[in-house]
A and B are shown apart, each in its own frame.
Chain A
Amino acid sequence: MLLIRCPYCEAERPEVEFTYGGQAHIARPQNPSATTDDEWRDFLYIRANPRGIHYERWRHMHGCGRFFNAVRDTVTDKFVMTYKAGLPRPDQAELEAARS
């Protein structure tokens, strides 16, 4: 059983309370009618599939109900850190701090 820290509940909660929400920090086009087909394709379907650090969305579905963001290492499946939705991507220094 994986424990995931919900940044809203400020508590470690069991994996079964959460659902996965895909890659994080994908901004919807500001002006959809001016967006080309290729840009739409990239927005809708093209996702990173990194070996290592991955920024992703999770939802505390069976808890407080909120979406939030997480940094997870796809090799070890360990969560590096979680942070509230709307906050910027944590930088390398913050990740190092969270790891130690």
Chain B
Amino acid sequence: MQTHHPLAGRALPGAQGRVSIRPVEDCTRFILRIDPQNLGAASSVWGANLPPTIGGLVSGSGRIATCIGPDEWYLIAPLTEQDAIESAFAALYATTIHSLVDVSHREVGIAVDGPDAVLALQASIAFDIAAMLVGSGCRTIIDRVQIILLREGQDSFRVEVWNSFSDHVWNLLAGICREIELGV
């Protein structure tokens, strides 16, 4: 397994506590594709309810599950749980057709926190961030880069971005945070 984290060691605390960005620690990530009619079976394997509607997000015990398409879920879990999740879904395959793909190596997480987190993200995302429900997630575009955006709290967001674009998105957000810090 690849342990290289392209954003390792970076952090931007941000002045006056308005908004800060930091790389999220390494975790396991999966894309699950399954017929929504079989969501109950997948939920019992996952160990928590998978959200039934697009945008829904269920988190707890270090895990996050968000529905990003009619038959598509994005799953995040601690690294130590990867093998258990993979074998549990492999057992489900005997009765229920689905696809569980490990994309851990493909993406990194950037946490965007603080009372100006909405303002910072709104600077480069086209839809109304303030109207995004707390406890929801979606695939979208930030400055022409595709990401998955999760809103975990009123002032707490998480950007999941492909490794190859992470440097660009990090520097973009760092610049925006600096502007907010300077009040420009």
Which A residues are closer than 8 A to B by beta carbons?
1, 8-17, 62-66
Measured CA separation A93–B101 after assembly (Å)? 45
Measured CA separation A11–B68 after assembly (Å)? 13
List CB contacts (< 8 Å) of B137-166 with chain A.
Answer: 138-141, 144, 146
Judge whether B140 and A17 touch: CB under 8 Å.
yes
Measured CA separation A16–B138 after assembly (Å)? 14
Of chain A, the residue at the smallest CB distance from B132 is A11
Q: Count of B residues near A, CB < 8 Å?
A: 14
Chain B neighbourhood of A13, CB < 8 A: 127, 140
Question: Quick check: is B109 within 8 A (CB to CB) of the other chain?
Answer: no
Chain A neighbourhood of B126, CB < 8 A: 1, 14-17
Judge whether A66 and B69 touch: CB under 8 Å.
yes
Asked whether A11 and B140 contact (CB < 8 A) given A1-B126, A16-B126, the answer is: no
Chain A neighbourhood of B127, CB < 8 A: 12-14
Judge whether A64 and B141 touch: CB under 8 Å.
no
List CB contacts (< 8 Å) of B60-98 with chain A.
Answer: 68-70, 72
Which B residues are closer than 8 A to A by beta carbons?
54-55, 68-70, 72, 126-127, 138-141, 144, 146
Measured CA separation A9–B67 after assembly (Å)? 10
Chain B neighbourhood of A14, CB < 8 A: 126-127, 140-141
Chain B neighbourhood of A15, CB < 8 A: 126
Judge whether B141 and A8 touch: CB under 8 Å.
no
Judge whether B146 and A64 touch: CB under 8 Å.
no
Judge whether A64 and B69 touch: CB under 8 Å.
yes
Measured CA separation A62–B146 after assembly (Å)? 6
Asked whether A64 and B68 contact (CB < 8 A) given A13-B127, A14-B127, the answer is: yes
Q: How far is the CB of A40 from the nearest CB of chain B, in Å? A: 33
Judge whether B141 and A9 touch: CB under 8 Å.
no
Judge whether B55 and A9 touch: CB under 8 Å.
yes
Q: How far is the CB of A89 from the nearest CB of chain B, in Å? A: 22
Judge whether A11 and B70 touch: CB under 8 Å.
no
Besides the known contacts A63-B139, A65-B69, 8 further A-B residue pairs in the complex with CB atoms under 8 A apart: A14-B126, A15-B126, A16-B126, A62-B139, A62-B141, A62-B146, A63-B138, A64-B72
Measured CA separation A66–B96 after assembly (Å)? 23
Measured CA separation A64–B70 after assembly (Å)? 7
Of chain A, the residue at the smallest CB distance from B146 is A62
